[in-house]
């Protein structure tokens, strides 16, 4: 079964949105390096991004049936979404939460995560490399 790599709202703007915080790498670049790395590790992946909370819930519910694990950057929903928390809980899969930026160095409202209690591992501040680290973890787990 593949690893689902899920990305939340505004991450489609990666590369142009606040490059001083998130860098110049685009989501297409991230997807490419994630695919290459997954191939090296012998993992299958399914990559998706949505700006809609319900679409992410639907994808997590699909993962529950079809995935071996989840890598998720829930973006702003990290800090607000009980629905993502509950969907990840129901999935009963290994979850790695990834943030490009170190959310703990930033505004207070980014310090709380509704997703972290459902994550085995949390990676923040490594930039796009964080996704590759997440795959490394799942491959060796």
Active site residues per annotation: 22, 99
The β-bridge partners of 5 are 47, 71
Contact string 6-45 vs ligand DQA (x = CB under 6 A): ----x-----------------------------------
Nearer to ligand DQA, 75 or 95 (CB): 75
Residue 13, C-beta contacts closer than 8 angstroms, at least 6 positions apart: none
3-state secondary structure of 48: strand
Sign of CA dihedral 89, 9, 121, 136: positive
Contact 16, 25 (CB under 8 A): no
Minimum CB separation of residue 33 from ligand DQA in Å reads 15
Contact 80, 73 (CB under 8 A): no
| Residue choice 50, 57, 72, 78 for contact with ligand DQA (CB under 6 A) | 78
Contact string 104-133 vs ligand DQA (x = CB under 6 A): ------x-----------------------
Q: Which residues bind to ligand DQA, rule: CB under 6 A?
A: 10, 73, 75-76, 78, 99-101, 103, 110
């Amino acid at each position: 079964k593949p690893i689902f790599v899920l990305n939340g709202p505004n991450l489609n703007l990666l590369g142009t949105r606040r490059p001083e915080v998130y860098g110049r790498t685009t989501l297409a670049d991230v997807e490419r390096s994630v695919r290459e790395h997954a191939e090296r590790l012998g993992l299958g992946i399914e990559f998706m991004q949505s700006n809609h909370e319900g679409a992410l819930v639907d994808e997590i519910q699909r993962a529950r049936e079809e995935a071996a694990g989840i890598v998720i950057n829930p973006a702003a929903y990290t800090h607000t979404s009980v629905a993502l928390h509950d969907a990840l809980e129901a999935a009963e899969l290994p979850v790695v939460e990834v943030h490009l930026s170190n959310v703990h160095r930033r505004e207070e409202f980014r310090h709380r995560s509704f997703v972290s209690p459902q994550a085995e591992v949390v990676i923040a501040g490594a930039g796009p490399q964080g996704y590759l680290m997440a795959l490394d973890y799942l491959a060796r787990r």
